Amino acid sequence: MRAPKRRNGRRRRSSRKGSLLETFKLYTGKQILANHEEYMGRRGVASKVVGSMTDDLEGRELYLGYAREDRCALWLRLPDEADVPKALRVLADHNYLHTRYYGSEQQTDFHVS
């Protein structure tokens, strides 16, 4: 198996079309904090005003809190909502703390720790 491609300091692995996990990204805690700092520095006044009303502050603080503990984040792109249960079963075999799923209607949190 080849090592995942690096793009902008993150690992990216794409598999064949039709696979459950078409794309995943893995970020270290340090990368998450650096990306957040860069993102906040690029935001203009209008973006900050709109963001103050629309940003998921709870989710962002949870994400950054894990990063400050030097925990990694794995982002999975699942185009078909029916694949979510299978992905959760795969993750069950690994040591992780938390999963947040953004579905078409709502977000769902799964705390494992």
Q: What pLDDT, on the 0 to 100 scale, is given for residue 66?
A: 93
Query: Which amino acid does the sequence have at 46?
Result: A
- The rounded distance, in Å, linking the Cα atoms of 9 and 11 is 7
Task: Please state the rounded mean pLDDT for residues 43-67.
Answer: 84
> Predicted confidence band at 107 (pLDDT cuts at 50, 70, 90)?
confident
- SS3 state at 79: coil
> Predicted confidence band at 1 (pLDDT cuts at 50, 70, 90)?
very low
- Which among 53, 26, 55, 30 is positioned nearest to 40, based on CA atoms? 55
Encode pLDDT of 41-51 as tens digits.
988 888 878 87
| CA distance from start to end of the chain | 30
Average pLDDT of the chain to the nearest whole number: 78
Whole-model pTM: value is 0.64
Comparing 94 with 35, which gets the higher pLDDT? 35
